[in-house]
Amino acid sequence: MNRITKRFARLKKAGQQGFIVYIGAGDPDLETTRQLALAFDRAGVDVLELGVPFSDPLADGLVNQLAAQRGLDSGTTPSRVFEAVAAVRRESEIPIVLYIYFNLVHHYGVEKFIRDAAAAGVDGLLALDLPPEESDGYEAMMRMAGLSVIYLVAPTTPEDRIEMIVKRGTGFIYYVSREGVTGMQSNVAADLAQKISQIRRHTELPIAVGFGISTPDQARLVAANSDAVVVGSAIVNQIAQSGRRPDLVSRVTKFVQSLAKAIKPGNP
């Protein structure tokens, strides 16, 4: 069974919400990415999203754009991300999703990318700019490789399209809780519960909510309405503020632990 599917089955059995963390791969370097992945696993993170650096990250706000640039500056490529995932796999079974722009997959070669991702230990791909209508061959190759096809649903997605998207997704559905790009926000969308309920009418897949969640209080509020909480920019910002300090991993992990405790208050 795919690690993502297995993890969400375990969470459901335990009556817990999942915690998904996004960071930019190679920010500030891939060895730090490896160390963060291992530390996050111990800190209660259920799924790790690694952003594969791209020169034109159109779905991302400034914090994640700068992380992508730092990743490019450190020499991070898709092949080197696979090497980093394989290194994590030698010590951890944390589910790993690559958050990626499809141009990178296309340039690498779709079939080869999927094959190499699976071989490295990747569990799913979230291709930001690949619509389901254009994904038939991609989805078939992903199924053959045992990888989850993760799709986004937005606040503006009409109900008939929600139904189509969730039927084609696997692993979990990523609900973008607000319009626009990634980035920290001061509040949670007021219609979140209503939107989650609308998506649930069409799928039994776990629904993860992201974009803008940046504090333990916000994470706690979102966890009350969803199956999983995704936090990205707030953690990426902690990495940026830490620079190349020797205690970067411990500083960032401490912040991640505060979020994990808010999402799963019963955990020690």
Known catalytic residues are: 49, 60
The structure tokens 């109900």 sit at 159
The rounded distance, in Å, linking the Cα atoms of 188 and 166 is: 23
Q: What are the distances in angstroms from CA 5 to CA 8, 92, 96, 123?
A: 5, 16, 12, 9
Q: What is the DSSP string of 106-173?
A: HHH-HHHHHHHHHHHT--EEEETT--GGG-HHHHHHHHHHT-EE--EE-TT--HHHHHHHHHH--S-E
DSSP 53: P
The rounded distance, in Å, linking the Cα atoms of 189 and 179 is: 10
Between strands 173-176 and 207-210, the pairing is parallel
